[in-house]
């Protein structure tokens, strides 16, 4: 997916779609991004490295730069200022990052995409309250591809769930990260049929200890 939103918030959103190759967590929720400064078509990212190996650090910077320039074609340059004060610590990982750590997203995007591919990708979205992915919970009712647009029809375990926005953001994150071919994502939240525990898959019940 490409975007032309050259704003600090747009860059921050794009950074949540870039997975650290050593952790399987996006670089924002890993707690490595400290600041974003945008000067016309150049972005300067202040960050701490979560690995000590200089070669791996170089790889991470390259992954970030390539990911940002893929999503923002008008971005001319990505520069890095590395912070050592404070150094990165594991407690910088956000609660969302800890969820991602339970089921790390593959780093490499897929070359092709089908409805089944997207359904498989949605297994990387963990329901924060239950701790099981939304596919095995039975929350995904349909995945439809319309050209380069994806329409996800889903429900939640309870109407008015306060985690609706968190889960929907995670749906966007995993699809945009693994399937950059998808240029538009729509999540349709429905309440019919009403969700119940019979919709949980065998794998989901096993994860719940049922």
CATH number at residue 118: 3.30.300.130
Q: Which of 9, 71, 4 is nearest to 36 (CA)?
A: 9
Shared domain for 120 and 202, answered yes or no, is yes
Give the residue numbers spanning the domain of 16.
8-95
Shared domain for 123 and 198, answered yes or no, is yes
Looking at the 3D structure of the chain, how many domains does it have? 2
Of the three residues 40, 62, 95, the one that is the final residue of a domain is 95
The answer to whether residue 102 sits within a structural domain is no
The DSSP annotation for 5-39 comes to --SHHHHHHHHTT-B-TTTSSBTTTTT-EEEEEEE
pTM: 0.84
Shared domain for 115 and 75, answered yes or no, is no
Shared domain for 144 and 83, answered yes or no, is no
pLDDT at site 163: 81
Shared domain for 184 and 126, answered yes or no, is yes
Q: What is the mean pLDDT of each run of 10 residues along the chain (210 residues)?
A: 79 94 94 95 96 96 94 95 94 94 85 93 93 96 95 91 87 93 94 94 92
Shared domain for 189 and 119, answered yes or no, is yes
Shared domain for 25 and 55, answered yes or no, is yes
Shared domain for 49 and 23, answered yes or no, is yes
pLDDT at site 4: 62
Shared domain for 122 and 89, answered yes or no, is no
pLDDT at site 3: 67
Of the three residues 44, 70, 95, the one that is the final residue of a domain is 95
The answer to whether residue 69 sits within a structural domain is yes
């Amino acid at each position: 997916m490409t975007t032309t939103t050259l704003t600090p918030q747009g860059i921050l959103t794009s950074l949540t779609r870039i997975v650290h190759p050593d952790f399987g967590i996006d670089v924002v929720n890993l707690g490595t991004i400290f600041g974003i400064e945008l000067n016309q078509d150049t972005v300067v990212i202040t960050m701490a490295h979560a690995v000590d190996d200089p070669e791996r650090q170089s790889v991470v910077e390259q992954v970030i730069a390539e990911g940002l320039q893929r999503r923002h074609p008008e971005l001319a340059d990505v520069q890095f200022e590395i912070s050592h004060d404070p150094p990165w610590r594991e407690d910088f990982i956000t609660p969302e990052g800890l969820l991602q750590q339970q089921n790390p997203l593959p780093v490499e995007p897929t070359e092709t995409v089908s409805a089944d591919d997207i359904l498989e990708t949605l297994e990387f979205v963990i329901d924060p309250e239950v701790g099981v992915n939304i596919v095995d919970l039975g929350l995904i009712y349909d995945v439809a591809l319309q050209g380069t647009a994806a329409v996800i029809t889903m429900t939640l375990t309870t109407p008015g769930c306060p985690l609706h926005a968190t889960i929907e953001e995670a749906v966007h994150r995993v699809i945009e990260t693994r399937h950059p071919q998808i240029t538009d994502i729509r999540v349709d939240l429905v309440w019919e049929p009403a969700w119940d525990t019979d919709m949980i898959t065998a794998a989901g019940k096993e994860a719940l200890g049922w």
